Amino acid sequence: MNIVHAEYNKYHHTIDINYYNGYILRIDCGKAEYCLITTPNSQRMLDALAIDEPLEYARLYLNSEMQYWINTTDVE
């Protein structure tokens, strides 16, 4: 499957990934971040990642690397 487009949906707080063959993958950001340990700074960085780089956000979530990403990038 080839990805055509990925974007942050501000109305549903989701990442919507559209594939070439018509499939859509929707990741609920609230559920994806539910058990993560965050600080206000790391939450801000997660929000910016979802909006600016939705495909990277989806990759981190699907590979179960979000907490590791937070721990290594949050240097407050």
- What type of residue sits at position 71? N
pTM, entire model: 0.88
The b/e string for 33-62 (b: 16+ C-beta within 10 A; e otherwise) is: beeeeeeeebeebbeebbeeebeebbebbe
pLDDT 10s digit of each residue in the chain, 76 long? Answer: 577 889 999 999 999 999 988 899 999 999 999 999 999 999 999 999 999 999 999 999 999 999 999 999 876 5
Residue showing tokens 């499957």 = 1
Cβ contacts of 65 within 8 Å, gap of 6 or more: 59
